[in-house]
Amino acid sequence: MSEGGALSSTNPTFEQDGIDVPKRAFITGITGQDGSYLAELLLAKGYEVHGLVRRSSSFNRGRIDPIYLDAEAGERLFLHYGDMTDGVSLVNLVLEIQPDEVYNLAAQSHVRVSFEMPEYTASADGIGTVRLLEAIRAAKLDCRFYQASTSEMFGATPPPQNEKTLFYPRSPYAAAKLYAHWMTVNYREAYDMYAVSGILFNHESPRRGETFLTRKVTKAVAAIKGGHQDILMLGNIDAVRDWGYAKEYVEGMWRMLQADEPTDYVLATGVGTTVRDFVELAFQHVDLDWRDYVMFDDKYERPTEVDALIGDPSKARELLDWKAQTDVEALAKLMVDADIAALAEISPPDPR
C-alpha cells in the first residue's frame, strides 16, 4: 500500500499541558481477526489502545495475547470487560477511557449463524452500535468513530458495488449491519459527529475464524495434506466474493479516521472469485485435486444467499490513497502455508 494521500491529523500524539501524550483508541471486537490487526497497527503508530473484551468461560484472547509479549507495545494495551448488549458497560468505559478514536468492530459476524440467532444479532450488531454512539454523545467527547459496515448490505444488488449502490440485505446479519450503518450516518448528520462507515468486502488472513469459508478451506487443505482429514464438506460453491487480506484493510480503517471530512468508503480488491475457484487455488498449492476431497452438505447453505459481491474501491483509492495489494491467489497460498505451519506446531513429529 502506498503511503501518503489526502490525510490530516496523522500524528498519533496530541499536546496536553505542554507535553505530548499518545492518542487513545478504543476498539470493540479487539479479540477478533480485524481487532487484533488494528491493535497492532495502532500500537506501532504510538497509540494507547483500549479494547473491549467479553467474558467467556474459555480463553478468547489468543489473537491479542502475543501483543503482551512485546514489552513496549504491551504497556500501552489495556483490556476492559464489557459487551455490546450491555449499554451501561459501554457508557462507563467511554467515560473512563475518553478515547480520541473509537473503532466499532464487535459483532456476531457469521452470516449463516445470524439466521439462527436473528434477535441476538440485531442486538449486538444493530442496537449495540447505537448504544456505543449514544455513550459517546452522552460523554460529549470530541472523538472520531469508525463503524464496521459490510458488503453484505448490498446483498441481492448485482456487482460492481460502490458507496452509491442500492442496499438489499439478504440475512439478519446484513439487516442489523444496515441499521447500524444508517445510524452512523444519522449521528454524523444530526450531531455533527465525525462518524464514518467503512463498507468492507470480505477480508481474510491466517487469523480468520475457522468457520468462515476461506479459513475452513485452508485449514482442511493443511489437514488433508498432512493425513489428518479425508474430506471437506461445503455448501454453495457458486457464490462469488471479493477476497482481500485483512492486514491491509485495517490500515484503510485508520486512514478513514485521519481524513479531513467524515464520509463512507468501500474497501475491496475489485476482483471477484467463486468459492469453487478459491477452493481450487488452495488445493492446487499443495498439489492436490480438490474434486477428490470436497463434498456438498446443504447444512452450510443459507436460506437466502448473496450470489455475487465485487467492490469498486475507487473512492478509497482517490481520497485515502488506499489500494489492496494481495490478490486472491497469494492470499490462498499464505493462508494454506500458515495452516500447515500451525499444524506442524501442534502435531508432534512421528518418532518412527
Q: Three-state DSSP class for 28?
A: strand
Cell numbers found for residue 172: 439478519
- Residue 52: which of ligand GDR, ligand NDP, none does it interact with, CB under 5 to 8 A by kind? ligand NDP
121 binds ligand NDP (CB under 6 A): no
Q: Which of 40, 48, 101, 152 is catalytic?
A: 152
Report the nearest approach of ligand NDP to the CB of residue 41 (Å): 13
Could you tell me whether strands 244-245 and 203-204 are parallel, antiparallel, or unpaired per DSSP bridges? parallel
State how far the Cα of 284 lies from the Cα of 168, in Å rounded to an integer. 35
335: left (phi over 0), alpha (psi -120 to 50) or beta: alpha
- Residue 121: which of ligand NDP, ligand GDR, none does it interact with, CB under 5 to 8 A by kind? none
108 binds ligand GDR (CB under 6 A): no
Applying CB under 6 A, the span of 5-13, 200-208, 224-232, 273-281 interacting with ligand NDP comes to 200-208
206 binds ligand NDP (CB under 6 A): no
> Which C-beta is closer to ligand GDR: that of 89 or that of 114?
114
Residue nearest to ligand NDP (CB): 32
State how far the Cα of 242 lies from the Cα of 200, in Å rounded to an integer. 10
Tell me how many helices (H) and strands (E) the chain has.
13, 15
State how far the Cα of 199 lies from the Cα of 155, in Å rounded to an integer. 12
Applying CB under 6 A, the span of 76-84, 127-135, 300-308, 315-323 interacting with ligand GDR comes to 300-308
> Which C-beta is closer to ligand GDR: that of 213 or that of 335?
213
Say which residues have a Cβ less than 8 Å from residue 222's Cβ, sequence separation at least 6.
Answer: 286, 336, 339, 340, 342, 343
Q: Which of 103, 146, 173, 249 is catalytic?
A: 173
Report the nearest approach of ligand NDP to the CB of residue 202 (Å): 4
**Residue 150 catalytic?**
yes
5: left (phi over 0), alpha (psi -120 to 50) or beta: left
Closest by CA position to 56, among listed 79, 26, 27, 90: 79
Binding-residue pattern over the window 149 to 168 for ligand GDR, x denoting contact by CB under 6 A: -xxx----------------
Cell numbers found for residue 130: 447505537
Beta strands in 126-264 (DSSP E): 144-150, 195-200, 203-204, 232-234, 240-241, 244-245
131 binds ligand NDP (CB under 6 A): no
**Residue 173 catalytic?**
yes
- Dihedral angle computed from the Cα positions of residues 131, 136, 139 and 144, in that order, rounded to the nearest 10 degrees: 170
87 binds ligand NDP (CB under 6 A): no
Q: Using CB under 6 A, which of 39, 67, 77, 84 touches ligand NDP?
A: 84
Say which amino acid occupies 295.
Answer: M
Binding-residue pattern over the window 240 to 279 for ligand GDR, x denoting contact by CB under 6 A: -x---------------------------------x----
Q: How many CB atoms lie within 10 A of CB 99?
A: 24
Window 202 to 241, contacts with ligand GDR (CB under 6 A): 202, 211-213, 216, 234-237, 239, 241
43 binds ligand GDR (CB under 6 A): no
State how far the Cα of 262 lies from the Cα of 283, in Å rounded to an integer. 42
Closest by CA position to 53, among listed 23, 78, 88: 78
Cell numbers found for residue 289: 485435486
181 binds ligand GDR (CB under 6 A): no
Q: Which of 150, 214, 218, 326 is catalytic?
A: 150
Report the catalytic residues.
150, 152, 173
Site for ligand NDP, rule CB under 6 A: 28-29, 31-35, 52, 54, 56, 60, 83-85, 105-109, 124, 148, 150, 200, 202-203, 209
Site for ligand GDR, rule CB under 6 A: 109, 111-112, 150-152, 201-202, 211-213, 216, 234-237, 239, 241, 275, 300, 302, 305
